Amino acid sequence: MDFTGKVKQAALAAIINQGLAYLEKDPEANLPRLMALVDRVVPENWYVSQRAGVRSAIAEKGNWYQLMLKLYALDPGVRNAFFRNFVLNASLFGSATQDETAAREGCNIPWAILLDPTSACNLHCTGCWAAEYGNKLNLTFEELDSIITQGKALGTYMYIFTGGEPLVRKKDVIALCEKHSDCEFLSFTNGTLIDEDFCREMLRVKNFVPAISLEGFEDANDGRRGQGVYEKVRQAMALLKAHGLRHIRFHDLRHSCASLLLKQGVPMKQIQEWLGHSDIATTANIYAHLDSQSKQLSAATMEQALALPEELPKSRW
């Protein structure tokens, strides 16, 4: 990054850090004011698309806006780390670096990188691919560390652990969070390995978020994952809440993932394999949803196909 780029980052970081202290007083009222302040003091050509995205989220008051407000139920240290790593590093500074790298190298740079630390899992869920691979496929700590180090050089500061069950590698996961404290880490997890000690470790590193997977309510969940798993997940969620830590219910993310992939034209068979479903009907009928834009496009296509010509042909009789 050149000198000008570093100056831009330092200036915006200083503004946002002061703004975060301002937000503490009344987040809902002050969030739009903070964005207005950023727009006033930051040159118009700095982080144009990123700032537009934040403004749009605030104006629409949708899921991203609700996520911002819910951050104020978190431990203050975890919240500040999230703003620094996810908002500043991954979304503002990182995406700008990604654009520069993509233009220079002539390739796409990912906003987030998915890693499978291990194929091992402590559960044996019906229909899950992980049971077919066992516990023998693992990335070493050094390999994981190298991927993250290389990713940061490209501008990627968001890392997502999948598996297997990533928390089988608890110590390595926490060590990566500690070493790369400028990144945000999210892990898809069944939640059963989250205990008091791990919550304390999460509070210590501050940049780890579990995305907990559930199949539904107790009968549906335990019917696939095993007796008592639902209750263990409830206990894990209660522990996280008691420690002021955030979790995401991964069952909802599976719907979002399938829908986004479908919108991007990914074949349904590939989406099925990505989500680990043994039956493509499960993916198509339950998880993949059309967004409003796709529905409007479908309606417009039907309207065009069924439209009568402006002038009907004259009768030959």
Predicted confidence (pLDDT) per residue in 40-64, tens digit? 877 787 778 778 888 888 888 887 7
Q: Does 246 have pLDDT greater than 90? A: no
Most confident option among 46-60, 89-103, 261-275 = 89-103
pLDDT in tens, 151-179: 999 999 999 999 889 999 999 999 999 99
Nearest-CA neighbor of 169 among 241, 209, 121?
121
Average pLDDT over residues 189-204: 96
Per-chain mean pLDDT for the chain: 81
**pLDDT score of 268 more than 60:** yes
Q: Are 199 and 245 in contact (CB under 8 A)?
A: yes
* C-alpha to C-alpha distance for 260 and 245, rounded to whole angstroms: 27
Give 141's pLDDT tier (boundaries 50, 70, 90).
very high
Instruction: For the sheet with 158-161, list strands across it.
Output: 112-115, 158-161, 184-189, 208-212, 248-249
Instruction: Give the pLDDT mean for 233-243.
Output: 94
Given this model, what pLDDT does residue 73 score?
Answer: 80
Asked if the model's pLDDT at residue 12 lies above 80, the reply is: no
Q: Determine the pLDDT at residue 158.
A: 94
Average pLDDT value for residue range 245-266: 65
Lowest mean pLDDT: which of 95-104, 114-123, 130-139, 187-196? Answer: 130-139
Task: Report the distance separating Cα 81 and Cα 297, nearest Å.
Answer: 40
Report the pLDDT value the prediction gives residue 273, as an integer from 0 to 100. 72
* C-alpha to C-alpha distance for 44 and 170, rounded to whole angstroms: 44
Please check whether residue 128 is in contact with residue 196, taking contact to mean a CB–CB distance below 8 angstroms.
Answer: no
Highest mean pLDDT among 50-59, 66-75, 116-125, 180-189: 180-189
pLDDT at 311: 56
Task: Check whether 226 has a pLDDT greater than 90.
Answer: yes
pLDDT recorded at residue 308 = 54
Name the residue among 116, 106, 34, 108 with its Cα closest to residue 69.
Answer: 34
Q: Kindly report the pTM of this predicted structure.
A: 0.69
- The tokens of 224 are what? 């696939």
Q: How confident is the model at residue 208 (pLDDT cuts 50, 70, 90)?
A: very high
What's the pLDDT score for residue 36? 84
How confident is residue 24, by pLDDT bands cut at 50, 70 and 90? confident
